[in-house]
């Protein structure tokens, strides 16, 4: 089964205001693609990315903000 890849040519990438001024060790997020949120490594913008649903993004960010997310 062939997987579909979203068209990211119009993605508007942003990074956290908490990121370092040099942009190292950051993730970038594009939230302007209909139906998905796309996440990538700022050090490798042409590399792989992760596309998740808006609901998954909202659940993740809500857990982080609420203290319910503990990285392993």
What is the C-alpha end-to-end distance of the chain, expressed in Å? 32
Residue 66 vs residues 1, 53, 55: alpha-carbon distances, Å? 38, 20, 16
Q: What is the pTM of this model?
A: 0.76
How confident is the model at residue 1, as a pLDDT? 41
| SS3 label, residue 52 | strand
Mean pLDDT by 10 residues, the chain (72 residues): 73 82 78 94 90 93 80 60
For the chain, domain boundaries: 24-66
């Amino acid at each position: 089964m062939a997987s579909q890849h979203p068209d990211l040519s119009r993605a508007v990438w942003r990074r956290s205001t908490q990121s370092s001024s040099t942009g190292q060790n950051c993730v970038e997020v594009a939230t302007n693609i209909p139906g998905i949120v796309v996440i990538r490594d700022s050090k490798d913008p042409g590399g792989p990315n992760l596309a998740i649903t808006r609901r998954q993004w909202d659940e993740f960010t809500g857990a982080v903000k609420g203290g319910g997310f503990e990285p392993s």
